[in-house]
Amino acid sequence: MKRQLPRIVLSACFGMLIACSHPQATSTEVNPTVPGSKPAETTEVPPHPESGRDRIELVIAGERFLMEISDDTPERTLGLSGRKRLGRNEGMLFVYPDKKVLGYWMKDCLIDLEIVYVREDGRIMSMHRMKKEPPRGGEERLNHYEDRLPRYSSRYLVQYALEFTPGTIDRLALKKGQMISLPAKQLQENVR
C-alpha cells in the first residue's frame, strides 16, 4: 500500500462538488487564489476499500465527496475503468504535474460519469457528461474499439480532472469559470 494522504475539507466560491466523512481537523491551509476561501481542514482518510488508492475529502457547495487520488501514469490510465458502481458522493481526482490540454474517454467504463476540468488555480474550465459505451466485441480489434470512443477534451490548459456520478454537475449548479479551492501544494508533492 502506498502513502496515506490527508483528507481535505474544501471550500468553494459559487459552489462545486464533494462528499462524505466526519471532520477531525489536524491542520489548516488557506488557498489565497480563491477570494474569501475558508481554511481547508485536513484529516486522515483510509484508502479506498476496492482499489486501495489514497483518498481525499473535498467539500464544495455544502456536499462532501471522498475522492480517490490518481496521481501517477498507471493510476491515471486506469481511472475508473471496470468499476461497476460509484457512490453518489464518491469520485476520482486526477492530478497532473504540469498544465496540459487533457482528453478523456470511456474505455472499459461500465458506468456513466461526469468530468470537470480544473486549472491549477482552481478555476473550472470545462465539463462533460460522459456516457458508457458498448463494450469491445469479442471479434473487435482493440484499435477499432478505441477509435469509436468519443473523446472529451478540456479544451484549455488544466492540471486537474474530477470525475463524478451522473447528475453531480446539475445538482451542484457547476458552471465554467467557477473557482474551487484545491490543496494544490499537497497534491503536487506526491504527483508522478
Distances 50 to 78, 83, 173 between C-alpha atoms, Å: 14, 9, 30
Locate the domains of the chain by residue range. 6-190
Could you read off the pLDDT of 109-166 as tens digits, one per residue? 999 999 999 999 989 999 999 999 999 999 999 999 999 999 999 999 999 999 999 9
How far is it, in rounded angstroms, from Cα 21 to Cα 56? 10
Looking up cell 446539475 gives 170
Could you read off the pLDDT of 83-116 as tens digits, one per residue? 999 999 999 999 999 999 999 999 999 999 999 9
pLDDT at 22: 29
> How many CB atoms neighbour CB 88 within 10 A?
15
Domain formed by 6-190, architecture: Sandwich (2.60)
Helix or strand or coil: residue 104? strand
For all residues of the chain together, what is the average pLDDT? 79
pLDDT at 43: 56
